[in-house]
Structure formats: structure tokens, C-alpha cells
Amino acid sequence: MEQIENDQIITVTEVDSSSSSMSTAINEKTMTGNDGVNDLSVQLERSAKRTELIESTEKGSTSAKNPVYVEWHGVNYSITEESNKPSWWNKMGNSDSKLESGKHVRTLIENIHGCANPGEILAIMGPSGCGKTTLLNLLGDRVGSKGVQGTVTLNGHKPTKKSKRFVAYCTQDDIFFPQLTVKETLSYTARLRLPREMSRRDKLKQVDNTMSLLNLSKCANTIIGDHRTRGVSGGERKRTNIASELLTDPSVILLDEPTSGLDSSLALELTKILKEFAVKQKKTIIMVIHQPSSQVFESFDKLMLMADGHMVYFGERAGVVDYLADQGYKCHPNFNPADYILELLNDNTIKQKLINGYAHSIRDDPTGKQAIEKYSRRSRTDNQLSNTILNAPVTSTRRWEATFLQQVSILTQRTFKQSRSVILSRVDIFQTIALAIICLIVWLQIPFAETNIADRVGSIFFCGVFWSFHPMIGAVSSFPLDLVMLSKERQSRSYRLLSYYLSKQIAELPLVMFNPALFTIPVYWAANLLPDFGRFVAYLIVILLGTVTSQSFGYFFGATLLNVQKSICKYYFKYFNFINSNCNISN
């Protein structure tokens, strides 16, 4: 009986546990289903919000009214390199050496052709070092004319300086001022580059819409940061870089690795945003991308494949799998075509075969002009746009959107915010206070006696020399470090060079004078130099003039050499020469 009762208890326990596990499983399925529904609703809500934000800027969009067709054919680019150039050490040690320096031409890309239509995304793919970024630089007119052959047109016209206003370029390296927040960075860009007819309120509203569109609202008040200062994440920096170009309403957007540093979800979201911008606002988007996911790959309209500076494929994205199959390389149905393409192009034998195969397919069209006519919608008879729009030159009536005074005002505000934490850092202020304390200990209340003349001369000499050379160190590195940002903004026609220089002088002048004044005021009175307010003011003016002059020399060396190390060496050389000459005079 006890055995039967035990068996019954065990059976009841098993039934209870199984029923509880079934109920748990049902609950988990229900929760999973609810999570799926929630995720779907979140995605639908985000998609609706994205559409609303894009449509809110569609009315005033330049590209929606005047789309731009980008076409290029027969493009070659080569650079000249020096080979077998012996070093000065080899020349000294081996005077009879037969090594001779020579120059040879290296071709980076050869016979490249393609086109990009408004409302479409063209993706340029290929292994690292195949010339993708070089081609993008050529399309964005970023390399000059030396070594460039072929034709690049916007609506059938060659690009000019004034057409750069309509071409945005998102570089692979995210270049920003590290001490500015995300919102400040975008706000200054909008005030400089958006049409002057827009009010400041509308420009800032567009900044808010763009930040919401790219999920940057949470980090709007976080500084960008750099390798020394903690700021936003790498993905947020990348999205800020894209946002700074999107908010200026360009007709053509060139992007170099826009999804690098982003997870697969954010990469897909960004691609969807770009796709919707292209469709709704008739923007022409060309992006260099290395290894997209299958979902991102499906969103492309046109595809260009490159390898070793040569064409491997150009045409519809949907046709690349069939093209590779015709070449003898069939992609498996469940395999990501992008991964399969890179796998093929990283094999030297297959890569060369595909290069030769594409060259053979266009043997009757060596420059690729006929291929462009096939894929470009500008030359189609079924295009609904008028010939006036299709052949309209891409140009602007203004060289800059902001007036000269607006440029100086905006850049002064930005430079002051960026330089304030650099010039007036805690380290510099602490150093100034510590130096003042040391000088107070050494020259405290110098008596008015003949034996103390040397002490007074030493105090005046030290203060004058120190503040005539110390500010030069920071000024020397100013232009070389700002050069990358300056080049980026100048190429996008953001402001005049004179506006940049004037704003830099106006913004940094009070900042540079703060530390010398903080040092001189207590040291002068504590050293008991001359207890007269008028002479103190004259002394302070001399110190400040020496500081400003020193800063000017620093700017001169930095702008001339554009190398921080060389400029600082030049500074120390001048400093020690000055000290030695003064010591010789005193002796």
C-alpha cells in the first residue's frame, strides 16, 4: 500500500511539474509573441516618424525640384612616385653607389565608368585598396586635375566650384571640433550652409529634425570628444558626420564607408533613411561600402564592383548574381551575395578572370559611354522631366550662403567655445598660479636700493621673456591641427578664408590674454616694482603686447611649416638664440 501511495504521489508530482512547465512554455510563447508585436509596432512607429520628418523637409528641398544626374566614363587616375631614392646616409657612405633616383607613374584606377540617378542608391564595392575611395574623391572633385583623365558630368555639365554647394561628401574619418556638442556642431553647420533666406529658427528646427531622424537626440548635449577627451561613441560620431551633410539639403551625397562602426541594426536603419531621402527628395546617393549585410545589400539600386583599380561589374544590383553565374560562379541561394562577391574578389585568380571578363564584355565600348546611356535615366525617352531640368547646370548664384559678417560672427562663436577649454584648461591655469607663487617667493617686496637693481631687472626680464614665448607653443600647433577641418569646410564652400582667420583672432585674443593678466597683476604689486597705477597699466600693456606678438609668430611658423614638430623646434631655436644674445649683452 505504501508503495502504491508513493507511486501515486510521484505521479501527481510529475503531472503537476509537467503542467507547470507547459504553462511556463505557453507564457513564454505569449510573451515572445507580445515582444514580437511590440518590436513590430516600434518599427512601424519609427518608420512613420522617419517618413514624417523626411516629408517635412521635402517642400523646400532643392534636389526635389532640381535633381542631379551624375555620369562618368573613361576615368583614369595616376600619381607620380619616386623610386630607388637613396637616403642622405647612403649617399655619404656610398659615394660610388649606382642607385639612381627615378620617377614612375602608378595608375590607381583605370577606365572606370558609371552613372547615378536621382532617387537611387549606387553602391561601390570591392576589397580594400581597390580604388573605391579614390573614385569617390574624383567624383567629389577632391583631388584636383593632375593625373586625372576622363569625363565626369553633373546633368551633362562639368562640375565647377559653385556646384560644390550641391554635392555633400561624408568622409570615412569623422572630422569635428572635439569640444563642441553634437547639437552645437550641427547648428553652426546649418547657420553657415543653409540658404540665407531661411530664418535662424527654421535652421535650428531642421537641425532638431535631422537629429531625431538619425537618433541623435539623446546625445545632443554631449561633446564630440577625441582620443584625449571622452565624448560620443563611434557610431554616434558617424551618424553626426552624416547628419552634418544631410541637413544642408545636397542634391548629391557621396558617402565613404557610412556603416563602419555601426551595428547591423543601425546600419540597416541608416540605409533605410538614405533610401527614403533618395526616393522622396530625388537625391542622388553614391556610397562606398565594404561588406554590407544581406538586408542592406537588397536596398541598393545600382552596383559597381572594383578590383585592383579596374571594373568588375556595373549595372543593376539585382542582376549581379546572374552575371556572376554566367561567368561560372554561382552564388548559393541562402548565401549573402555581398559576402560571396568579396570572397571571389579576394582570390587573385578569380579576380583577374572577372576583370578580363568585364573588359571583354565592353570591348566595343572602351570608355563605357554606351553602358552609361543604357543605365542613365537622363537620356531615356520615357523620362517625364523636361529637357530644361535634365540639362540644367548645377550651379548657385551665390558663392557662400552666409554673408561675410555672418560668417565672422558664427565662426567667432564656434572658435571661442572650442578654444576656451583648450587655452584656459585647468592645467594651464594651475601652471600660471604656481608660477606666480614662485615669483612672489623669489621677488617679494624688493627694496628700493642700489644693490637690488639686478633683482628688479631679473624680475622684469623673466616676466617679459616668459610671456613673449610661452603663448607661441599653443599657437604653433593651432593651424596644423585645424587644417583638416578647414580643408573639409572650405571644399564644401562654407566660408571665406578671411572669415576664418579674423574670427580666430577675435575669439582667441581675450583667451590668450587671460593667463598673462592673471600672472602679472599679483606679481607686479607683490614685487614692489613701482607702486604707481599708471606705470602698472603700461607694464601690463607691454606684457600683453608681447603675448600677442608671440602668438602671431606661432601662427606664422605653424601656417608656414604645417608640421607641429618642426614648428616647435623652430620656436625653441629662436628662444635659445634670444636668451644667449641677451646673456652676452648683460655680460
> Which triple of cell numbers denotes residue 138?
574624383
The identity of residue 192, as a single letter, is L
* Residue located via cell numbers 593667463: 515
Domain ranges within the chain, ordered by starting residue: 63-81+103-166+254-389, 171-249, 404-577
Q: What CATH number does domain 63-81+103-166+254-389 carry, 3.40.50.10490, 3.30.70.270, 3.40.50.300, 1.10.357.10?
A: 3.40.50.300
Rounded Cα distance, 190 and 338, in Å: 36
Cβ 228 vs Cβ 425: under 8 Å: no
Rounded Cα distance, 197 and 210, in Å: 19
- Going by C-beta distance under 8 Å and a sequence separation of 6 or more, which residues neighbour residue 189? 244, 247, 248, 494
478-496 in b/e form (b: 16+ CB < 10 A) is: bbbebeeebebbeebbbbb
Sign for the pseudo-dihedral over CA of 294, 296, 301, 302: negative
HEC sequence for 207-264: HHHHHHHCCCCCCCCCECCCCCCCCCCHHHHHHHHHHHHHCCCCCEEEEECCCCCCCH
Give the SS3 label for residue 69.
Answer: coil
Rounded Cα distance, 391 and 379, in Å: 10
Q: Can you give the pLDDT at residue 101?
A: 53
Cβ atoms within 10 Å, residue 169: 21
Q: Can you give the pLDDT at residue 569?
A: 56
Q: Can you give the pLDDT at residue 303?
A: 94
Q: Can you give the pLDDT at residue 340?
A: 93
pLDDT tens sequence for the chain (587 residues): 444 444 443 444 443 444 444 444 444 444 444 545 555 665 666 666 666 666 655 555 665 677 889 999 999 999 887 665 555 445 555 544 444 556 778 889 999 999 999 999 999 999 988 889 999 999 988 888 888 899 899 988 888 887 888 888 998 888 899 999 999 999 999 999 988 888 899 899 989 988 988 888 899 999 998 888 888 988 888 889 999 988 888 889 999 998 887 888 888 888 988 998 888 888 999 999 988 999 999 999 999 999 999 999 999 999 999 999 999 999 888 889 999 999 999 999 999 999 999 999 888 888 888 888 888 887 765 555 656 666 676 777 778 889 999 999 999 999 999 989 888 888 889 999 999 999 999 998 888 888 888 888 888 889 888 888 888 877 887 777 788 888 888 888 889 999 999 999 899 999 999 999 999 999 999 988 888 899 999 999 999 999 998 888 888 887 777 665 555 555 555 555 555 555 554 44
Q: Can you give the pLDDT at residue 433?
A: 94
Q: Can you give the pLDDT at residue 50?
A: 63
DSSP 8-state secondary structure symbol assigned to residue 119: T
